[in-house]
Structure 1
Amino acid sequence: MLPMSFNLKTILYYGAAFAGLILFIKWLQWKLVISGHSMEVFVGLIALVFTVLGIWVARQILRPKVETVIVEKVVPAAENSRPIDERTLKTFDLSSREYEVLQLLCQGFSNAEISEKLFISISTVKTHASNLFVKMDVKSRAKALDKAKRLRIV
């Protein structure tokens, strides 16, 4: 069964094109152009026709069906978001990776999820969290999150 994109008009067009090709080849034979190098010329003409046809079909198939539109939109910050207190953050002397772990902890991610997001092992996440707790002088994750939010460092 033919794909739906081929309609009767297209089929008739190709039929007429191939009929014209056959008539042209017969005319060349009649004029004795092909007689000396009959096989080479015949194969060359057929190869040329199928090359052109293949290029045309490939362009039809590869033509994009959907146009991609990119829309840029300004998204305002949440009203309840507070600016980060950079001065307080510097007093804790957190590394950039420890700060990333702290931000993800505040967003509620588990150690396994943080390791996937940051492409590090779970033990490395635990090490960063442990270093955070020492630098922030807290004993648990909940207290670290509470202190970070209270001091506005996340």
Structure 2
Amino acid sequence: MKKTVIVFSLLILALLLLFQLSKYTIIRGNMQIEYIMVLIAIVFFGIGIFINNKNKNTNPNKIDLQKIKDLGLSKREYEVLKEVASGLSNQEIADKLFVSESTIKTHVSNLLVKLNAKRRTQAIQISKDLNII
């Protein structure tokens, strides 16, 4: 979070400096406003490319299938966990998986026990930390 705040602060600072530079160049009469705007656009285009390339270099978290087996999650419990993580209610999950709502409640209860969580949100966070969703 701190890194994101610092990056955006530096971008804002760069923008302010470019505007100040453009103001002084207009006052001096050395450049036309179009050149200044092109310069600002090129700088921010370069920053955008840099940030995009930086995001591509980060490896997405791979799902740890061995951890799923170690926790003893069944295939159906894992399906329910993925649906819970997507924000669906018990009834919506039941409709999607073609089972009753009470079956989903049982699966969610089993998930909470196996993940040692008290709430659904806590189970999702633990699952993300374990790289299983």
TM-score, length basis structure 1: 0.47
Aligned partner of 2:120 in structure 1 is 141
Deviations 1:84-136 (A, max 9, x none): 01121111101111000001011111111100100001111000000011111
Q: Distance in 1 between matches of 2:120 and 2:109?
A: 9
Cα deviations by residue, 1:16-73 (Å, 9 ceiling, x for unpaired)? xxxxxxxxxxxxxxxxxxxxxxxxxxxxxxxxxxxxxxxxxxxxxxxxxxxxxxxxxx
Q: Which residue of 1 aligns with 2:69?
A: 90
TM-score of the superposed pair, with normalisation by structure 2: 0.54
Residue 81 of structure 1 deviates from its aligned partner by 3.9
Q: 1:105 aligns with which of 59, 84, 87?
A: 84
Question: Which is helix-richer, 1 or 2?
Answer: 2
CA–CA distance in 1 between the matches of 2:89 and 2:60? Answer: 23
CA distance in 2: counterparts of 1:101 and 1:123, whole angstroms: 13
Whole-angstrom CA distance in 2 between matches of 1:116 and 1:131: 19
Residue type of the alignment partner of 2:108: A
Please, which runs of 5 or more residues in structure 2 have no aligned partner?
A: 1-55
Q: What amino acid sits opposite 1:146 in the alignment? A: Q
Displacement of 1:82 after TM fit? 1.9
Note the residue ranges of structure 1 that are not aligned, 5 or more in a row.
1-78
Residue in structure 2 matching 1:132, options 111, 129, 132? 111
Q: Separation in 2 of the partners of 1:106 and 1:142? A: 8
The alpha carbon displacement at 1:149 in A equals 0.6
Aligned length: 76
Identity of aligned residues (%): 49
Secondary structure of 1:127's partner? Answer: helix
Of structures 1 and 2, the larger Rg is shown by 1
Alignment of 1:24-43 (within 5 A): none
SS in 2 for 1:109: coil
Distance 1:92 1:120 in 2: 23
